[in-house]
Amino acid sequence: MIGLAESVSALRFLLDAGVDEAIEDTPTDWSAVAIRARGKAAGASPPPAAPQPAASLPPDRGPGPAAGPAENAQQAKIGNIPPLGANEAGQSARAAAAAAHDLDSLKTALAAFDGCALKKTATNLVFGMGSRQARIMLVGEAPGENEDRQGLPFVGPAGQLLDRMLAAIGLDRHAEDPAKAVYITNMLPWRPPGNRSPTDSEIAACMPFMVRHIELLAPDFLIFAGGISAKAMLNRTEGITRLRGRWFDYGSAGLRKSVTAIPMLHPAYLLRNPAAKREAWKDLLALRLRLDGADAG
């Protein structure tokens, strides 16, 4: 009989492996399924496959035109061609993001995008929240478990700490006043399994949507919370401890002018390393001074 300590250890292992949700009402013993499958294979040879009728085979295209996007998507579903590769996903993302003329259409385009594998394992799309007239836009890294369940960014323990940090300098994600409001989003709209760090290909697939997100909101100030968003959006190689507290100019083709940006330590990092809150407080004060200077100017 398995004891309590062994059961807790097994559950912790599953959580570390990213198995944190049940997908069926009753558990399935996959080891027994595999044993039965091996037994069937050893006991009898399967009958020879019947020849496929010619009508069921895909027609030979020959030198004619290539399949269109809709036909490619249908063929991908039935296994005739592989899913979107990195280059195809990037092209699809750039086209879809560029066609979005406001945040609502960008969210719709992102929900329809199939070029990032995280979409298949996530529960909800996490887009953004806050006043669309906010002067400040905060870009985090990726949704966690609470964010994935609720479909909102920064709603877990790290989000609660973030709210207290913002309140300390007179800012609020729920404020309607643009001078006090903060619009919050993440680099990736889908949660990586087990809260692992996103891969370079996942970041690249979602990057065009993030760039367009900033262009459509057109804030006066950007906060990049955490190393993933700071390095990706500023095209830097240094870690967040070297980037934090420094001012940068962020620009893209769709912005009329560059946006003042500051990387900061992610609230989740601060929960794990409380001593780093001193540096976070310095960065918040620097942001407050910059905001006050902009107001005075």
CA distance 285 to 209: 30
Name residues whose C-beta falls within 8 Å of residue 60's C-beta, 6 or more positions apart in sequence: none
Q: Encoding tokens for residue 132? A: 């669309």
Q: Encoding tokens for residue 234? A: 């500023």
In total, the chain counts a number of residues equal to: 297
Residue 37 has pLDDT above 60, yes or no: no
SS3 172: strand
Mean pLDDT, rounded, for 77-86: 44
Q: Which domain holds residue 254?
A: 86-296
- pLDDT, residue 23, reads 56
**Which residues of the chain form beta strands (DSSP E)?**
128-129, 136-140, 182-186, 221-225, 248-250, 259-264
Kindly state whether residue 206 falls inside one of the protein's structural domains: yes
- Reference 235, options 111, 243, 29; nearest CA is 243
Share of the chain above pLDDT 70, in %: 71
Residues 273-296: pLDDT tens digits?
999 999 999 999 999 999 998 877
Residue 74 has pLDDT above 50, yes or no: no
Predicted TM-score (pTM) of the model is 0.72
Kindly state whether residue 46 falls inside one of the protein's structural domains: no
CA distances from 64 to 59, 61, 239 (A): 12, 6, 50
- Backbone torsions φ then ψ of 86, nearest 5 degrees: -60, -45
- Reference 110, options 207, 183, 192; nearest CA is 207
Q: What is the DSSP string of 225-244?
A: ESHHHHHHHHT--S-HHHHT
Q: Which tops the pLDDT comparison, 13 or 282?
A: 282
Residues 196-216: pLDDT tens digits?
999 999 999 999 999 999 999
Least confident of 4-13, 113-122, 220-229, 268-277: 4-13
Kindly state whether residue 6 falls inside one of the protein's structural domains: no
- Name the β-bridge partners of 137: 183, 222
Kindly state whether residue 141 falls inside one of the protein's structural domains: yes
Q: How many domains does the chain have?
A: 1
**pLDDT-derived band of residue 138, with 50, 70 and 90 as boundaries?**
very high
Mean pLDDT, rounded, for 210-227: 98
Cα 228 to its chain centre, rounded Å, is: 11
- pLDDT, residue 134, reads 97
Kindly state whether residue 5 falls inside one of the protein's structural domains: no
Average pLDDT, the chain: 83
The CATH number given to whatever domain includes residue 232 is 3.40.470.10
Kindly state whether residue 204 falls inside one of the protein's structural domains: yes
Kindly state whether residue 271 falls inside one of the protein's structural domains: yes
- pLDDT, residue 18, reads 56
- Name the β-bridge partners of 225: 264
CA distances from 36 to 5, 39, 40 (A): 31, 5, 6
Kindly state whether residue 178 falls inside one of the protein's structural domains: yes
Bridge pairing between strands 221-225 and 182-186: unpaired
Residues 248-266: pLDDT tens digits?
999 999 999 999 999 999 9
Q: Where is 104: in which H helix or E strand?
A: helix 103-112
Burial pattern 195-229, b for ≥16 Cβ within 10 A else e, equals: beebeeebbbbbbbbbbbbbbbbebebbbbbbbbb
- Reference 246, options 273, 228, 222; nearest CA is 222
